[in-house]
């Protein structure tokens, strides 16, 4: 996987999640499961604010085009509690009063957390991962479903979600071209003025390292089976995945 950043504590991750990465300046290229890659998926949230007094109050959308599903149904579909869903919804509604977010709005919101670089390409990849029905929009249901997988899913759930993010054309395998696009988008997002300075050939080197580790049968593509097997044997990846168990 690209890079080997230091493992962060649960406390630090929780604090950064709740503050929504206001000044995220990564020091190294994130790995698949490193906090900046995964927690960045949650940066549509605004400050938690206060909990609603009732489900009806919280889900009141008098000027909103899209009405989310009932709280009980979302509880059944995700691994969040009632109060957690209320907090998440309030943040989502603050950023997306219409009840849905399109790709351009998603990119605008996401760019706030990476002002030193161009996050537009990576944000597009991330948007497509959340937009599971490919209708060009992300609803609150889409958002909490993805977030539930990232933060509360099993290790396999999280790895499958990450694989889907990297599999840009959704054909069931990751090619070097897809991984290079991902890596370039991450470098663009980090900006040119990083320390230490990033070498121009670094993205391609990360891709080669990725395939050397993941492409078990050397056929030039990484399948989900190869991806899961390789990740599960990597202690750093497994340790990083466990950091998200208590983020919210």
What are the extents of the domains in the chain? 82-152, 156-247
Question: pTM of the prediction?
Answer: 0.70
Residue from 161, 242, 205 nearest 29 by CA: 205
CA atoms within 13 A on the CB side of 198: 24
pLDDT of residue 60: 39
Average pLDDT, the chain: 75
Residue range 185-196: mean pLDDT, rounded: 75
Fold held by 156-247: Recoverin; domain 1 (1.10.238)
How would residue 36 be classed by pLDDT, with cut points 50, 70 and 90? very low
pLDDT (tens digit per residue) in 37-81: 344 444 333 222 222 333 343 443 333 445 566 888 999 999 999
Instruction: List Cβ neighbours of 123 (8 Å cut-off, separation of 6 or more).
Output: 106, 107, 110, 111
Q: Is 212 left (phi over 0), alpha (psi -120 to 50) or beta?
A: alpha
Mean pLDDT of 114-136: 93
pLDDT at 127: 95
The fold of the 82-152 domain, in CATH, is Recoverin; domain 1 (1.10.238)
User: How large a percentage of the chain has pLDDT more than 90?
Assistant: 46
Question: 3-class DSSP state for residue 247?
Answer: coil
Residues 6+ apart with CB under 8 A from 47: 20, 91, 94
Q: Are strands 137-139 and 100-102 parallel, antiparallel or unpaired?
A: antiparallel
pLDDT tens per residue across span 171-181: 999 999 999 99
At 203, is the secondary structure helix, strand, or coil? helix
pLDDT value for 21: 28
Q: Are 82-152 and 156-247 equal in CATH topology?
A: yes
pLDDT at residue number 197: 60
pLDDT tens digits, one per residue of 140-152: 999 999 999 998 9
């Amino acid at each position: 996987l690209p890079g080997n950043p230091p493992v962060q504590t649960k406390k630090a991750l929780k604090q950064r999640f709740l503050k929504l990465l206001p000044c995220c300046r990564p020091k190294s290229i994130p790995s698949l499961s490193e906090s900046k890659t995964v927690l960045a998926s949650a940066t549509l949230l605004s400050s938690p604010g206060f909990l609603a007094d009732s489900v009806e109050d919280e889900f009141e959308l008098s000027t909103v085009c899209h009405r989310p599903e009932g709280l009980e149904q979302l509880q059944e579909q995700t691994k969040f509690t009632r109060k957690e869903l209320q907090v998440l919804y309030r943040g989502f509604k603050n950023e997306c009063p219409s009840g849905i977010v399109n790709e351009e709005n998603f990119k605008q919101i996401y760019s706030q957390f990476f002002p030193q670089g161009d996050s537009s390409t990576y944000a597009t990849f991330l948007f497509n991962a959340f937009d599971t029905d490919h209708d060009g929009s992300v609803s609150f249901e889409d958002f909490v479903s993805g977030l539930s997988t990232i933060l509360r899913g099993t290790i396999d759930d999280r790895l499958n979600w990450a694989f889907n993010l990297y599999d840009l054309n959704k054909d069931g395998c990751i090619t070097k071209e897809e991984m290079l696009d991902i890596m370039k988008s991450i470098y663009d997002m980090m900006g040119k003025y990083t320390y230490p300075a990033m070498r121009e050939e670094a993205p391609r080197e990360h891709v080669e390292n990725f395939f050397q580790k993941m492409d078990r049968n050397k056929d030039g593509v990484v399948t989900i089976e190869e991806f899961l097997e390789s990740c599960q044997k990597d202690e750093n990846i497994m340790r990083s995945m466990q950091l998200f168990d208590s983020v919210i």
